[in-house]
Amino acid sequence: MTIRSWDIFCTVVDNFGDIGVCWRLARQLAQEHGHAVRLWVDDLHSFARLAPEINPASPLQQLAGVEVRPWQPGTDKDFPVEADFAPHDVVVEAFACDLPFALLQRMAAAPRKPVWLNLEYLSAEDWVGEHHRMTSPHPRLPLVKHFFFPGFAHDTGGLLREALLGAQRDAFVSSPAAQSALWHRLGVQPVAGALRVSLFAYANPMLPALLAQWRDGAEPVQCLVPQGLAAQQVAQWLGTSITVGEPGQHGNLTLNVIPFVRQERFDDLLWACDVNFVRGEDSLVRALWAARPLVWHIYPQDDEAHRVKLDAWLARFSRIGVAGETAAAMTGLCHAWNGYEDYRDPARQQAAWAAFRAQLPALATGVDHWQRQLQHLGDLAANMVSFCEAQSRNSGTILG
Ligand code: TRH
């Protein structure tokens, strides 16, 4: 029995991660699996930052083989839009968003009930494997929800990774023309011999100290900052505005603010840099696939809950077989970058960058090794397809 169609529901809580993951998943299901995908998004303005063709005012549009529809979580007001609306073979509520009750009723009443998945946030914690694929019956309707967890271990759903990603990366890395085209698009003049760093981050108390360290250091550093929170902080540090296409030279530091690019083009930036500072969830995964040293600014949560997640991820990195000082350099800079108390002192922050810089070749080898291992988990989209096909076979809910 085959799965052929998907409804994916996304609410944009904050920033770009929710829509970033949903849009990537939707494209992959449509393009690599040939499935029909309807992507429901509550904030088309945020979506348009990742995919500029999106018209925020449109009630129905097609992009990259995906049907895009607006919706309002937690209300039946605008749902369902057509009287003959029928849910697709799989209904995904991304990150526990609140599906309209009218939709759940349609799902329960369908002659072949859809497979219902809650796609969870990414975490490297050990408990994820125990909760992956767990079920939860609806309290009133004859429906069962399945929890699907992305992750870094064999007992999880793995990570999103397009089938052609490795080949695209290799082609980019070996093509000076593709690299020149990137710099042209970004309005950047590459500085020969400089350490090239991309910096995608939330506002970060350590940023001024790091910029000063690069400015005053012996090595030329070119730092590329996408428009957004970190770019605003850079402007504050400089005490002046900084615009795309106009680099700032400060001692040994060249600063470029670069445009926020469409999602398919974000990888080029990561592939072209020696070190990538990334944040949240989706850009972390992309930086891993880029196989370059990376520094993770994790999405802050109440009660410092994110620190447990960060430390679980760092612990996994330290277990892949890197030397103790390499793992320590990664942990030190990530702790400093995420505001751990031990690193509030600027001298310790500077030492954290210096240790990371000294370990750069070993970090590059380690991250490359890790991303090769992670590819063995299979990619999240394909794992979701297999899981749903097995569910539909077992329950006989969907005709083949
Ligand atoms: O934007 P984020 O901080 O999103 C966050 C996290 O996902 C977090 O876990 C979640 O809880 C919170 O949102 C609500 O970081 P993230 O996940 O990396 O998403 C950024 C997306 O933006 C990613 O898909 C890459 C994309 N991007 C572009 O398309 N172009 C760009 O120029 C840049 C810098 C990013």
Could you tell me the pTM of the whole model? Answer: 0.96
Q: What is the CATH number of the domain that holds 156?
A: 3.40.50
Q: Take residue 52 and report the two structure tokens written for it.
A: 């500029």
Pocket test for ligand 1, best of 276, 283, 338 (most atoms within 8 A of CB): 283
- List active site positions: 18, 281
**Same domain as 61, residue 87:** yes
* pLDDT for the residue 281: 96
DSSP assigned state of 200 = -
**Same domain as 156, residue 14:** yes
- Ligand 1, atom 28: closest residue by C-alpha: 263
Burial of 34 (0-12, 13-18, 19+ CB in 10 A): exposed
Give the chain's end-to-end CA distance (angstroms, integer).
Answer: 4
**Same domain as 135, residue 102:** yes
Choosing from 142, 160, 178, the residue where a domain stops is: 160
* pLDDT for the residue 78: 63
pLDDT in tens, 272-306: 999 999 999 999 999 999 999 999 999 999 888 99
Ligand 1: which residues within 6 Å by Cβ?
13-18, 20, 50, 121, 200, 226, 260-261, 263, 266, 279-283, 299
Query: Count of domains in the chain?
Result: 2
**Same domain as 268, residue 171:** yes
Q: Take residue 51 and report the two structure tokens written for it.
A: 């995919």
* pLDDT for the residue 396: 56
Domain range spanning residue 53? 5-160
How many Cα atoms sit within 13 Å of 244 on the Cβ side? 12
**Same domain as 188, residue 68:** no
Alpha carbons 284 and 310: distance in angstroms, whole number? 11
Task: Give every strand in the sheet of 248-250, ordered side by side.
Answer: 248-250, 253-258, 221-226, 195-199, 275-279, 294-297
Q: Which residues of the chain have pLDDT under 50?
A: 398-400
Task: Give every strand in the sheet of 61-63, ordered side by side.
Answer: 61-63, 66-70, 36-41, 5-10, 90-94, 115-119, 144-148, 135-137
Q: Take residue 159 and report the two structure tokens written for it.
A: 């990570």
Yes or no: say if 288 and 208 are a contact pair by the CB < 8 Å rule: no
